[in-house]
Structure 1
Amino acid sequence: MEKAEEWMNYGLELAKEFGPKLLTAILIYVIGAWIIKKIVKTARKVMSKSKYDESLQRFLLDLVSWGLKVFLIIIVISRLGVDVTTFAAVIAAAGLAVGLALQGSLSNFAGGVLLMIFKPYRIGDLIEAQGVLGVVKGIEIFTTKLVTPQNKLAIIPNGAMANGNIINYTTEGKMRVDTVIGVGYGEDIKKTKEVLLKVLTTNPKVLEDPAPSVNVLELADSSVNFAVRPFCKPEDYWDVYFATYENCKLALDAAGIEIPYPHQVEIHKER
């Protein structure tokens, strides 16, 4: 009984000493988290009104949010009675150890900063990087997210993006669609070019400037191959690509121009 009373008294003393600090710390955290949320929300509105680039908005908001949260945690810990100076030293030592262990993540962060400064691509751009083709969905602190033509989400580290080759198909606003159409050697080249060019000029998604072109590409083994090259907006690429092949086939058939294909010849031997 005496030991139980001693433990109870000890618990009451701890509650009296640390209870108010703990409650205050919890209150500070709740209020601080609410304030941080309001600050981030307000900053987002200000950036939107100032017409900041969307990718830069997300990056800066993530940075501000995490920085304020770390600051809030330090305040809460100091309110619990922990020496902030000692805590800062521990954080610094831990930060060094974590930094050495997470060099890749730090390089990704640095890569994200470089991407924000030089802006090789923006949200909504069609790009090709690290062997992936897709539309930029988001540029975050450590990674860039792309949505591929197959509607797959590709997450690529910013360090690799900043240090690798990037092809941006959206920046110039125009893309060339490269297709090859072959016709028989007996067909009239001039007439074939006219038929193929008409297919391109009648497609509303094919741009007038630069003008589409049709030229003899090569004299292959069994066909004369034409380079059929329309220009279009990046978002219309696949529509124009598939339509070009389909409409060229229909137009050539209608004009009586043969598209060569392998023929099987039967050889009859006399007995």
Structure 2
Amino acid sequence: MQGSLANFAGGLLIILFKPLRVGDYIQTQGESGTVAAIFIFSTKIITPSNQSVYIPNGALSNGIIRNFSKEIQRRTDITLSVNHNSELHQVKSIIADVIKADKRIQSDPEPLILIKDMTSEAILISVLAWTSNAEFGLVVSDFYENTKKAFKHNHISIPAFSRVNYH
């Protein structure tokens, strides 16, 4: 009975405060997916592999919910790696050109290209740029593709390993 009351109260909190809505893409309780339905005791999400997952509203309302759809804009947090023999000024310039060529990447706030780390294997470069949430996935994919082409054209080599992180 206590669990059912917690789930009922959680459902009411979700309905009242709207931290998520049907159609939002969320991550919570170790699961990610699109909210398909919000019931009084549970919330149904559909995972990217088309599985239905039902999360008790008590756990949902008391846990962390990462809602990727809530905001209009989203910032990339892309980490690129280049070999130590790369000229950093040239690398940053190439990345800036790739950013400028993509009209979906916003100029305000200004994109940032930062040296993130220098490991024994590579120099890690962080690219922070804003785009619309709706186009985020395509922008990131196109950015990787266009950067790889530009690096190849300019003889910038990347390490054999790949260390990627974006949110």
TM-score, normalised with respect to structure 2: 0.84
Displacement of 1:143: 1.2
Higher helix proportion (structure 1 or 2):
1
Give yes or no for the alignment of 1:111 onto 2:10.
yes
* Residue number in structure 1 paired with 2:92: 193
CA deviations over 1:119-154 (Å, ceiling 9, x no partner): 112222222211122222221111112222333322
Give yes or no for the alignment of 1:208 onto 2:99.
no
Aligned alpha-carbon RMSD (Å) = 2.0
Q: 1:168 aligns with which of 38, 56, 67?
A: 67
* Residue number in structure 2 paired with 1:26: none
Q: 2:119 aligns with which of 220, 223, 228?
A: 220
Q: 2:55 aligns with which of 135, 151, 156?
A: 156
Give SS of 2:53's match.
strand
Displacement of 1:214: 1.3
What is the letter of the counterpart of residue 27 of structure 2?
A: E
What is the letter of the counterpart of residue 167 of structure 1?
A: R
Distance 1:187 1:126 in 2: 38
Higher strand proportion (structure 1 or 2):
2
Distance 1:135 1:203 in 2: 28
Give SS of 1:198's match.
helix
What is the letter of the counterpart of residue 207 of structure 1?
A: Q
CA deviations over 1:159-204 (Å, ceiling 9, x no partner): 1111111122222322222221112222211111011122223224
* Residue number in structure 2 paired with 1:251: 150
What is the letter of the counterpart of residue 160 of structure 2?
A: Y
- 4+ aligned runs moved over 3 Å, structure 1: none
- Contact 1:126/1:234, CA 8 A, preserved across alignment: no
Instruction: Give the number of equivalent residue pairs.
Output: 161
What is the letter of the counterpart of residue 117 of structure 1?
A: L
CA deviations over 1:7-37 (Å, ceiling 9, x no partner): xxxxxxxxxxxxxxxxxxxxxxxxxxxxxxx
TM-score, normalised with respect to structure 1: 0.54
What is the letter of the counterpart of residue 74 of structure 2?
A: M
Distance 2:106 2:51 in 1: 29
Q: Which has the larger radius of gyration?
A: 1
Distance 2:52 2:145 in 1: 30
Give SS of 2:91's match.
helix
Unpaired segments of 5 or more residues in structure 1?
Answer: 1-101, 263-271
Higher relative contact order (CA closer than 8 Å, sequence separation 6+): 2
CA deviations over 1:210-240 (Å, ceiling 9, x no partner): 3322111111113221112232233333222
What is the letter of the counterpart of residue 209 of structure 1?
A: D
Displacement of 1:113: 0.7
